[in-house]
Amino acid sequence: MAEAYAATLREFIAENFLFRADAEIADNQSLLDSGVMDSTGVLELIAFLEKTYGVSIADEEIVPENLDSIDNMTRYLATKLPAAA
């Protein structure tokens, strides 16, 4: 299931934040440090995760350890959706 999360996240990020057709990001790449996303992008990402996966993300969960890379988001989703993991 983790690979399905990662694929969905990669697609969302590519469509919404990467503006070059040949741009790629590594799964462990910091989206904030590399400039792929800014604080507004984080809010867009949260809305996407909540809508796509039916999760509720609390303010205290909005930290880099959960949302700053595809790897982090994949692990985070696995904890939010344990039945699907």
Domain extent listing, the chain: 2-19+26-80
**In this predicted model, what pLDDT tens digit does every residue of 1-34 receive, in sequence order?**
788 999 999 999 999 998 766 678 899 999 999 9
The DSSP-derived string for 44-77 is: HHHHHHHHHH-----GGG-SHHHHSSHHHHHHHH
CB count within 10 Å of CB 5 equals 22
Which superfamily, per CATH, for 2-19+26-80?
A: ACP-like (1.10.1200.10)
Question: pLDDT tier at 85 (50, 70, 90 boundaries)?
Answer: very low
How confident is the model over 74-80, as a mean pLDDT? 93
